Amino acid sequence: MTPIDLAEVPAATASTPAATAEPCTIIIFGASGDLTKRKLLPALYHLRQANLLPKDFAIVGVARRPLGNEFAADMREGIVEFGDAESSDPLLEEFVDHISYYALNFDDPASYAGLKTELDRIDKERNIGGNRLFYLATAPEFFTGIVENLGAQGMAHPEKGIAGVVIEKPFGHDLDSARELNHQVNAVFHESQVFRIDHYLGKETVQNLLVFRFANGIFEPVWNRNFIDHVQITVAETLGVEGRGPFYEKAGALRDVVQNHMMELLALVALEPPASFEAESVRREKLKVWQAIPPIPILNTVRGQYGPGIVNGQHVIGYRDEERVNPESGTETFAALKLNIENWRWAGVPFYLRAGKRMKKRATEISIQFKQPPLLIFNRMQSDGPCGDIQPNLLTIRIQPDEGIALRFGAKVPTTPQMNVCPVNMDFDYESAFGKSRANGYERLLLDAMLGDQTLFSHRDGVETTWALYTPVLQAWAAKKPEVFPNYFAGSWGPECAEHLLELSGHRWRNDLGRKG
């Protein structure tokens, strides 16, 4: 198949603002962390390559370490290693020239005056006009202090230009802390200036959920409880905690992935068509989905923790042996649950969610299983046939890797005199249709934040609603330490009890994830 030439696709459409942002300084707090080097700077460089950054821009890394010029050099390396960049490209040189560094102790109010002076200087030198985007990529305990100090220096509401603040997850660790953080942030920045980032929304395959559902005529009529049997969403990672032990000990799978990334996926699968792609319309529809979810009974949840095992052919240690992890840790590295959405479209359709580290395979997938038609004219139980029993239609949306969408349906096995039905797949593959992309998802989110478009960012109400749903589960889990941790081998599909969650309804987790054939 010939890939579509993206150069021929018009850059801007009604819903994708390919506009270049206004001149802007991007100030990244916590810039010495991995995220800046691996994701943010490569993404900003990709925007520069696509001519989507303004001519006048500056990037200022802020962290505690005294780094000076080393910072720009380190970011340059990161762009080449993790981005789509040739080391010898003059454009890279020109880009790196816009990067500088400012050492600051996050909770020392006095040093913010110095930061302001430095930003004013850069502003003049580069003719930026006062627009600033503050990106908080620090540990969450610093969010409030930074926001308050920016406010105290008048940087949240400048006399010249516009200010915005991007806040990385985790946005709170339960309902109370999320509310308090919202309160503190909104005391300084107006909600229209706040961009709570969830990097899943930057993924093309996630944005495509809206296109798939609402730009095609054939799926939406069957996208409801009359035709859909159940929905499964899996976020399986082969990685462990990768040196982030202390962070993960406090987080666990439910806080780290389910409350945010998975709830975004669920909302995009389940929402009603928004009136437009304006932030308010989309966010309102997502909120309605989350609000329609009744409390999740604890019996409908399962937690797990990996022990040692083999992942991708390599022996790996168990979670409790990871660096800076409590050897008796009760933190879950796997979470699975069943929930319902009690509205007209979805009542009675179970949604199963599961997320885990050190699983057998890396795959983020959504699968929609349709109801079986009456199979009266076929021998429903074909156990003696070549393909086993007749399988229901299954729509699989591969968020990553092997990005694509597959539809399973039944086909007659050729040359046999009997009507034997075999499952076959129609498969759309992103790479063969559109070519390979090295975009990491932050491009779109950074550009949107610079443009002031909040569509792909979480609103305070959304964050609080999802925390309200999960806080009772977290509390119940905290009240009862799991007795049998670790309860799954690294390199497996998680604990056995996760299977029981589905068995009662006659369902099973799909473990044949990934592209077929």
Return the active site residues: 261
When the beta carbons of 25 and 333 are compared against ligand BG6, the nearer one is: 333
Q: Which residue is nearest to ligand BG6 (CB)?
A: 256
When the beta carbons of 311 and 421 are compared against ligand BG6, the nearer one is: 311
Residue 18 CA to residue 30 CA, distance in Å, equals 28
Read off the tokens for 5: 């030439």
- In the chain, the amino acid numbered 102 is Y
Residue 256 found at the interface with ligand BG6 (CB under 6 A): yes
**Least distance between ligand BG6 and beta carbon 256 (Å):** 5
When the beta carbons of 257 and 421 are compared against ligand BG6, the nearer one is: 257
**Least distance between ligand BG6 and beta carbon 437 (Å):** 14
**Least distance between ligand BG6 and beta carbon 257 (Å):** 6
Question: Any bridge partners for residue 410, and if so which?
Answer: 423
Distance linking the first and last C-alpha atoms of the chain: 16
Residue 137 CA to residue 135 CA, distance in Å, equals 6
Residue 403 found at the interface with ligand BG6 (CB under 6 A): no
Residue window 362-391: x/- pattern of binding to ligand BG6, with contact defined by CB under 6 A: --x---------------------------
For tokens 């068995």, name the residue.
503
**Least distance between ligand BG6 and beta carbon 198 (Å):** 8
Residue 264 found at the interface with ligand BG6 (CB under 6 A): no
- Tell me the number of residues near ligand BG6 by CB under 6 A: 6
Question: Any bridge partners for residue 366, and if so which?
Answer: 233, 397
What are the helix and strand counts (H, E) for the chain? 15, 17
Site for ligand BG6 in 159-198 (CB under 6 A): 169
Residue 397 CA to residue 391 CA, distance in Å, equals 18
Residue 38 CA to residue 96 CA, distance in Å, equals 15
Residue 205 CA to residue 233 CA, distance in Å, equals 14
When the beta carbons of 237 and 402 are compared against ligand BG6, the nearer one is: 237
Closest of 511, 507, 516 to residue 405, by C-alpha: 516
When the beta carbons of 25 and 364 are compared against ligand BG6, the nearer one is: 364
**Least distance between ligand BG6 and beta carbon 109 (Å):** 30
Instruction: Quote the crossing angle between the two packed helices 109-126 and 143-152, to the nearest 10°.
Output: 70
Residue 237 found at the interface with ligand BG6 (CB under 6 A): yes
When the beta carbons of 237 and 448 are compared against ligand BG6, the nearer one is: 237
**Least distance between ligand BG6 and beta carbon 113 (Å):** 34
Residue 392 CA to residue 409 CA, distance in Å, equals 7
Q: Are strands 228-236 and 363-370 parallel, antiparallel or unpaired?
A: antiparallel
Question: What does the binding site for ligand BG6 look like in residue numbers (CB under 6 A)?
Answer: 169, 237, 239, 256-257, 364
